[in-house]
């Protein structure tokens, strides 16, 4: 019996050591690849022209959640603040980024989180409570919430800091005269709700002539597949999923030729060096991706020096909570400093 116990312990120890060895090898391998990220995979001068309208000569400035550090995020108040600053300071925000969810009565409204807790006073209202979700409430119910509870300032109109629909956002932007604005929109719902949200989004974009100027993203694989099958053939442009980003990074590391197998997505929306094992914010990676006609957009970059470096390397868009900082970096580059 004692011999069997010792044998069992040896087997368990061997298995554990083997697992640890595999993990150590994998992590070491990824660090080696990260260290090689500065090595050019393609000749920058050989990058062919692209018909992808999201690949641009000068980096675009994108307001994350419509500028979440400038006003209550994902509300009309945030859009108003963006435009007010543009007009007062004389700079341009090229792109507006925000998130959509489907209400109980099938309206597309702006909200990033899975629940309303962080940004609203839902916990204080009997009709809601903690962990309240958009999907469980009608638009009329959601409009009773105060959506400024994650914003420290008071420099906004409370009437504009409520849940808003996608149509209201587009109406407001058109009313301010910004008809050439670009959009990055993330669908937060999954499964059938995500598909219905995609259906509504497509119809709204199509009716307003905004299909080409909008990038649609999602972290839900089933919605990605639905977009590929139904809407990419109709002109909807989507960004890469997490799995696709990782796959592309490994293709980059080994300089895989993608010419005969181009992906369905046209845009990458990625962090810079926030993940220890992946280093996306490199000239070599941007050039490789551009070579295959894929635009590169970085989120959420708030450090002005990082913004400037990415712009100089040819990033197509900088998604930031502080569009004013991105503007300062862009002006510095334009002046040749």
Query: What pLDDT, in 10s, does the model give residues 215-272?
Result: 999 999 999 999 999 999 999 999 999 999 999 999 998 999 999 999 999 999 998 8
Residue with tokens 């109980």: 104
* Cα–Cα distance for residue pair 194/239, rounded to 1 Å: 16
Structure confidence by residue, pLDDT tens digits, 287-336: 999 999 999 999 999 999 999 999 999 999 999 999 989 999 999 999 88
Q: How many CA atoms lie within 13 A of 150 on its CB side?
A: 20
Tokens of 64: 């994350």
Tokens of 186: 């993330």
What SS3 state is found at 232?
helix
304 CB burial (10 A radius; 0-12, 13-18, 19+): middle
Nearest alpha-carbon partner for 213 in 184, 170, 173: 184
- pLDDT (average), residues 137-163: 96
> What is the DSSP annotation of 59-92?
PEEEEGGGTTTTSSTTSHHHHHHHHHHHHHHT--
26 occurs within a structural domain: no
Per-residue confidence band for 30, with pLDDT thresholds at 50, 70 and 90: low
316 occurs within a structural domain: yes
Domain that holds residue 47: 36-334
Nearest alpha-carbon partner for 230 in 198, 194, 191: 198
235 occurs within a structural domain: yes
Per-residue confidence band for 34, with pLDDT thresholds at 50, 70 and 90: low
Range ranked top by mean pLDDT from 82-91, 137-146, 264-273:
137-146
The confidence score (pLDDT) of residue 69 equals 85
pTM to 2 decimals?
0.87
Tokens of 165: 């629909």
Structure confidence by residue, pLDDT tens digits, 315-328: 999 999 999 899 99
157 occurs within a structural domain: yes
Range ranked top by mean pLDDT from 42-51, 200-209, 325-334:
200-209
Asked if residue 203 has pLDDT above 70, the reply is yes
β-strand partners of 176: none
- Answer for the pair 262, 256: CB distance below 8 angstroms, yes or no: no
* Cα–Cα distance for residue pair 261/102, rounded to 1 Å: 34
* Cα–Cα distance for residue pair 76/67, rounded to 1 Å: 11
Tokens of 28: 């070491």
**CA separation (Å) from 264 to 41, 133, 228?**
22, 32, 7
Q: What is the mean pLDDT of the chain?
A: 90
7 occurs within a structural domain: no
Give the ranges where the chain is alpha helix by DSSP (H): 2-35, 76-89, 139-142, 166-175, 191-207, 221-226, 242-253, 283-291, 304-313, 323-334
Which CATH number do you get for residue 208? 3.20.20.190
Asked if residue 10 has pLDDT above 80, the reply is no
Strand 60-63, strand 295-298: pairing = unpaired
The confidence score (pLDDT) of residue 243 equals 92
15 occurs within a structural domain: no
244 occurs within a structural domain: yes
- Answer for the pair 160, 175: CB distance below 8 angstroms, yes or no: no
What is the domain count for the chain?
1
- Answer for the pair 148, 77: CB distance below 8 angstroms, yes or no: yes
198 occurs within a structural domain: yes
Per-residue confidence band for 19, with pLDDT thresholds at 50, 70 and 90: confident
């Amino acid at each position: 019996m004692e011999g069997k116990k010792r044998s069992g312990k040896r087997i368990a120890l061997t298995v554990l050591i083997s697992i640890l060895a595999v993990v150590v090898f994998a992590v070491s391998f990824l660090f080696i690849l990260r260290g090689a990220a500065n090595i050019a995979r393609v000749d920058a001068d050989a990058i062919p022209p692209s018909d992808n309208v999201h690949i641009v000569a000068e980096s675009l400035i994108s307001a994350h959640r419509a500028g979440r550090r400038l006003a209550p995020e994902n509300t009309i108040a945030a859009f108003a603040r963006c435009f007010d600053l543009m007009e007062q300071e004389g700079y341009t925000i090229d792109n507006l980024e925000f998130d959509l969810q489907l209400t109980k009565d099938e309206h597309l409204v702006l909200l990033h989180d899975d629940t309303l807790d962080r940004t609203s006073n839902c916990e204080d209202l009997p009709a809601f409570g903690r962990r309240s979700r958009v999907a469980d409430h009608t638009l009329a119910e959601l409009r009773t919430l105060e959506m400024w509870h994650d914003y420290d300032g008071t420099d906004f109109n409370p009437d504009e800091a409520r849940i808003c629909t996608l149509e209201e956002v587009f109406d407001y932007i058109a009313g301010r005269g910004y008809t050439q604005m670009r959009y990055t929109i993330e669908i937060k719902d999954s499964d059938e709700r995500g598909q219905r949200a995609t259906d509504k989004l497509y119809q709204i974009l199509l009716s307003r002539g905004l299909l080409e100027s909008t990038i649609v993203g999602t972290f839900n694989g089933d919605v990605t597949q639905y977009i590929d099958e139904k809407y990419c053939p109709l002109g909807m442009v989507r960004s890469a999923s997490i799995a696709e980003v990782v796959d592309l990074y490994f293709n980059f590391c080994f300089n895989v030729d993608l010419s005969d197998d181009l992906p369905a997505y046209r845009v990458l929306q990625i962090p810079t060096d926030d993940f220890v094992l992946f280093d996306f914010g490199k000239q070599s990676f941007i050039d490789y991706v551009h070579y295959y006609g894929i635009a590169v957009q970085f989120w959420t970059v708030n450090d002005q020096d990082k913004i400037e470096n990415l712009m100089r390397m040819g990033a197509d868009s900088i998604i930031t909570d502080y569009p004013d900082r991105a503007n300062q970096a862009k002006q510095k580059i334009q002046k040749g400093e």
